[in-house]
A and B are shown apart, each in its own frame.
Chain A
C-alpha cells in the first residue's frame, strides 16, 4: 500500500507540475537546440519573439526559412510588441518583433528596428454610410467624443457608434499614436472588439459605426474604407507614404551585439526577394 501511495503521490505531483509550468505562450515554431556542428549549413536555434500582429506573415517566413535550412530553428514567442522590444534589450531574444515604431528612449538604449513590411490601418464605415473622407482632426474628435453625430462630418443625422480594439492590441496603440489619441481621452462607451475580423463584422452590421482595422484583412464587399486626409487607402498610397495611417512591421535588434550566423541569415532571407514575396502574399506592402 505504501508503494501505491508513493506512485499516486508521484502522479499527483507530476500533474500539478504540468499544470503549473505551462504558463508561456511559445508558439512552438521550432524544436530543441541542435547545438553547433562544423560545416557551412546553418544550424542552431534563434530565439525571437514579440508582436502578435505579425503572426501570419512571420509564421510563413519562419516556415519557409526552416524548409530551406532544415538544421536551423527559429523560435517565435508571441507576447506583444512591448515584450519583443524589451526582450531584445534584456537578451531574452536575438530578434524582436514589433508592429509599432521604436520610441526614442528605446532607440537610446541602442535598439534598431528594420522594417520589412508595411501594414495600413483602414478606417472603415458601413456600406450605407455616405461619408467618404475624414481629416486627422475629425478622426481624433470622433474617437475622443467631441464629434458624436455623423451630420457634423457630412453624413446623415445619426449618432456615431465608435468601434475600437481591446487594450493591449498593437493596432489600437498604433492607431492612437498616429492620430494622436491618448488612451485616457478615448470616448467612453465605445464598442470594443477582440480582433480585426470582429471590427469588420461589427461595422458591417451597424449602419452608424466607424472602426479601424488592418488593411491586409479588409474586405471591401463588407465595409467601406474612408479616405484619410483626402487620400484613399491602397497599395500605392501605402508604398509612397501618402496615406498616413500606416505602420511598419519591424525586426528589432541590438546595435553592437553580434548576431549568430543563423539569425543574420534569417534577416537576410526576410529582406530577400523570396521573403518579400511572402510579405506580398500575406497582403502586406513589401519594403524592398
Chain B
C-alpha cells in the first residue's frame, strides 16, 4: 500500500508542527508520530562554528532518500514518512534536518526514525562546510556514523 512520503531538499526553514499535522491528517489509524530535528551546533571538534554551508547532489539526493524510506518500510509497518533537509547557508541553532515517521504504535515509529537518520547520515549525498574563526573547512565523515549504520544489519531483535 502506498503511504504518504514527503521528501524535500530546500533552502527555506520548516515548521515541525505543520509537518506533524500534515503527516497524520488523512489517516485516523496513526497512533504514533516521532519527529527528529537536527540543529546546527556552534561548536564542532573543539572549534567554534560561525556558519555552515550545505551542498548536495541534486537528483541523486532525492533518489537516495526515497531508497532509504523504502528500506524502512520493509522493516516497519509505517503509515507515513516526511524527510526535509536544508541546503545552503545556515547558522548555529538553525534547523537542518527533519525526519517524521507515522505508525500505529510507537516502537515502529521510534525505531524507524532512528534508522532513517542513520542511513541519511551515511548514504545521502550532502556535504557540510563550516566557517570557523580560522577559515572554512569541509566536515570529515565520522567513523561513528558507520558504526551506527552497521548495528541495523545485526538488529534481528527489531
A and B: interacting chains: no
A residues neighboring B (CB under 8 Å): none
